[in-house]
Structure 1
Amino acid sequence: MSINFYKEIIDNYKNLYETKEGYDTKIYAGEKQNIKEFHVHSFILKTQSKFFKSAFTEEIQKKDGYFILNLNYSPKIFEILLRYFFFL
């Protein structure tokens, strides 16, 4: 397949991450005063990470139509990780 095809797919994922269109998950990363809310797509997280695949198979309750996860990671580090998942 051509490189342009792969670039288009990567650009689509990047756009999905940046616009947050159709997100179904809210992740709160950080502690106490340093918490940041991320809006992401569970499908992307599950396909890119074994950690998230198992996290979403454990009966996570939806609240107001969204999966809610609280993670004890630095918001800056977590954002780098998300960009890796979406821009791979």
Structure 2
Amino acid sequence: MTSSGWTTTAGGPGVVVADGAEIPLRNVWLLLLYASEFYQSGPEAFDGIEDYPEKLPELLAELLSASTEDRLKRPLTPSFATTSRDLSR
């Protein structure tokens, strides 16, 4: 385990959570996918994704694309204000 909480094991990279329990990174992506509204109303391509981990990158890209497209259709929030400044470095 590294100090950042990430690990690499024979099963691939993972995340260490409470009490040193490790969650494989693939499962973290599946949790993100399941939590998304897109998954809940999304294509039937998500059915059985646990059995086909090689499809996961394609489905995550589809999720990102659909989420971005949905966000671009909505107007900016009222608190949004355009600003510009010189960068100081």
Q: TM-score range by the shorter chain?
A: under 0.3
TM value normalised by structure 2 = 0.25
Give me the TM-score of the superposition, normalised by structure 1.
0.26
Higher RCO structure (Cα 8 Å, ≥6 apart): 1
Larger Rg: 2
Kindly indicate which of the two structures has a greater share of residues assigned to strand. 1
